[in-house]
Structure 1
Amino acid sequence: MSADSPSFHAVDASSDAAQLAALMALDVQAQLPSILRLHAWLLEALDPLPGMEALDVGCGTGEDIRGLAVSVAPTGSATGVDPSETMLAEARRRGEASRNPARFVQGSAEALPLDDASVDLVRSERVLQHLVDPAVAVGEMARVLRPGGRIGLIDTDWRTLATWPGDPHLKAAWHEDWGGVTSPEAGAQLLDLVLRHGFVDARVTTEVLMLRPRQLDLPPLSFVVEAAARRAAAAGEAADWRRQLEESAARGSFVFAVTLYAVVATRVL
C-alpha cells in the first residue's frame, strides 16, 4: 500500500495525506445507499431512548455516536471509543462544531475502557473484520452492557467480493492476502458471535454494497486494487492490467460488490 493510501489499521502512523484520505473515505462510505439502509435498520432495532447510556466501538469520526447522543438526551450519555487519536481528534472537532454532547475516549475493542454493566446500547460497525479474534471484542461489548441492553453490529463478508471485469489478478490477490483485512468472514460470523456470548432475540439482515467507481484510488476498492497490483507487477503485467481497469472505470462498466451483515440482539436479563 502506498504511503498516501488510506489505512484503517495504523491511521496515526500514516502520512498526513493518508490520514486525510482515511477520514474522507469514511465520509464517502457513510453516504452509500446500502450503508444508509443498514444504519437506519440498526438504529430502529436498537431503539435508543432518553436517559440511556450509548457506546460506539470503533467510532471513527463520530457521526453515528453523535446521532445517538441526540436520541438519548438530555439525561443519557453517548461515548465513542476508537484506538486512533487522529480519528478521535476529528470526532471531537466535529462534535464541538455542532455542540453535540457525545464524548470520545481512546481505547481498543478488545479492552474497552468502561466498567462492567455500564451501558444500555452498544454499536460497532466494520470493526471486527480488522481484529484477529472478533469474539474477544464481542465479549467485551457483552461485559459493558447491562442486562437487557442491546448490541448492534455491522460488518463485511469479504469472501463474497465480486467484480467485473473479473480480472484473475483481483480475485487471486484478494483471496491470497484479503487486502490486509484480518477476519474477512466477520460479517457472516456476526449472528454466531452474539449467540455464543449469550445474547437473545437476535435479528439479522444483509445489504449488498455495490460500487461503480470511476477511479480506483478510493477504499474499499483501493485496498483490493493495490493488493492485485503487486501480484500483476510480479507477473510483469502491471501496466496493461492497470490500464484495463482504468478504461473499464472510465466507461462506467467497472462493478464492485460485497455483502454486509447487520445483527441486533439483547443481553440476557
Structure 2
Amino acid sequence: MADPRPTSAFHVTNIGVTPTDRLIGALDAQADSEGVRRLRQWAHAAVAAQPGEQAVDVGAGTGSETQVLAAAVGAAGEAVGVEPHDGLREAAELRAAAAGSAARFVAGDAVALPLDDAGTDVVWCERVFQHLTEPAKAVSEIVRVLRPGGRVVLLDTDWATALLHPGDPEVVAALMRRALTASANPHAGRQLVGQLATAGLEITDVGSQALIQSNTKVNWQLIRMLGESALREELISEQQRDALYADLTSAADEGALHMSATMFGVAARLPSP
C-alpha cells in the first residue's frame, strides 16, 4: 500500500472496502451505547466549547458530535468536521442540514489536517487513534492547529481490555488475540495521556467507560468475524468454535452474557507562551 498511515475501513485509502451504509450502521449502533453517551457527556464538559470559538471534530464520521460542538459555539463561532470518507462526510452533511445545524464538513486526514496553524480553540477526536499507524503525527497536527490555551479531548478504545464470558478460556483468549490484531493501534486508549503530555500539552482531566454489550444478545457480527478468523489461522478448531458459540447462545438466553471493552478519554490544553 502506497500510503501506510490508516489501515481501517474508516480511512481514505480503504474507501470502498466496507459499504458506507455498514459504516453508518456501526457508528449509529455505537452512538446508541449508554457507555458511549456517558463518556461523550463527560468529554463535552471537559473540553467546554464556548460561544464564538472555533471547534474541530477530527474523524467526524456521521457528524453527531460536530453538531454538538456547533450548538456550543453558536452563530458567532464555527464547528468543522474533518472526515476522509466521502460517504460518511455526505451523510454528516445531510444529517446536519436536516437538523438545522451550522456544522460543516471538509475532507481531510488526522495526520494532515486541512487547517491553519494556531487557529482552533477546541479539538475533538473520537475513536480515530486506534486506526492510525502513526498516532504521534496526529498529535503533532492537533498541536499545530491549536491556539495557545486551546483545548483538546481524545477518546479511544483499548482493545486489550476486551472481555468475553462464558466460554473455554483458551478459546476466548484466541478470539481476544484476534481482536487485538484487527486494529492498527489496539492499545490506543492507554497511550493517549502519554502522547499528549509528550507533545507539551497540559492534561486537565481523564476519564473512562466500559462499553458493555447487552447481556441478552450475542453480537454475532463481531463474534463470528473473530471466531472465523481464529479458525482460519488454526488458533482454534471447528469443535472449539461451535462449543463457544453454543456457550454464548445459552448465556444470552439466560441473561448471563458479558462482553465489553473500555474506552478512555483525555482532556488537555495547550499552554500559553
Work out the number of aligned pairs and report it.
Answer: 258
Matches within 5 A, 1:83-162: 83-162=84-163
Indicate conservation of the 8 Å contact 1:161/1:258, yes or no.
yes
- Match of 2:55, SS state, is strand
TM-score, structure 2 as length reference: 0.87
Distance in 1 of aligned mates of 2:80 and 2:14: 20
Indicate conservation of the 8 Å contact 2:167/2:247, yes or no.
no
Q: Is structure 2 residue 193 aligned with structure 1 residue 191? A: yes
For 1:257, the equivalent position in structure 2 comes to 260
- Match of 1:83, SS state, is coil
Mean Cα deviation higher: 230-239 or 61-70: 230-239
Indicate conservation of the 8 Å contact 1:174/1:228, yes or no.
no
Residue identity in the other structure for 2:60: C
For 1:248, the equivalent position in structure 2 comes to 251
For 1:75, the equivalent position in structure 2 comes to 76
For 1:3, the equivalent position in structure 2 comes to none
Structure 1 residues 72, 177: CA separation in 2 closer, same or farther (over 3 Å shift)?
A: closer
Indicate conservation of the 8 Å contact 2:30/2:36, yes or no.
yes
Indicate conservation of the 8 Å contact 2:193/2:203, yes or no.
no
Structure 2 spans left out of the alignment, 5+ residues:
1-7
Indicate conservation of the 8 Å contact 2:127/2:156, yes or no.
yes
Q: CA RMSD in A?
A: 2.0
- Match of 2:256, SS state, is coil
Q: How far 1:244 sits from its partner (Å)? A: 3.3
Please give the per-residue CA displacement for 1:132-178, whole angstroms capped at 9, x wherever unaligned.
12111111111111110000011111111111014433322332562
Distance in 1 of aligned mates of 2:21 and 2:249: 23
For 2:177, the equivalent position in structure 1 comes to 175
TM-score, structure 1 as length reference: 0.88
Mean Cα deviation higher: 253-262 or 140-149: 253-262
For 1:34, the equivalent position in structure 2 comes to 35
Residue identity in the other structure for 1:181: S
**Post-superposition, which runs of at least 4 consecutive aligned residues in structure 1 deviate over 6 A?**
none
Structure 1 residues 21, 14: CA separation in 2 closer, same or farther (over 3 Å shift)?
A: same
Mean Cα deviation higher: 232-241 or 204-213: 232-241
Residue identity in the other structure for 1:215: V
Residue identity in the other structure for 1:199: L
Residue identity in the other structure for 2:194: D
Please give the per-residue CA displacement for 1:44-94, whole angstroms capped at 9, x wherever unaligned.
111111110000001100000111101111110000011111110100010
Q: How far 1:129 sits from its partner (Å)? A: 0.7
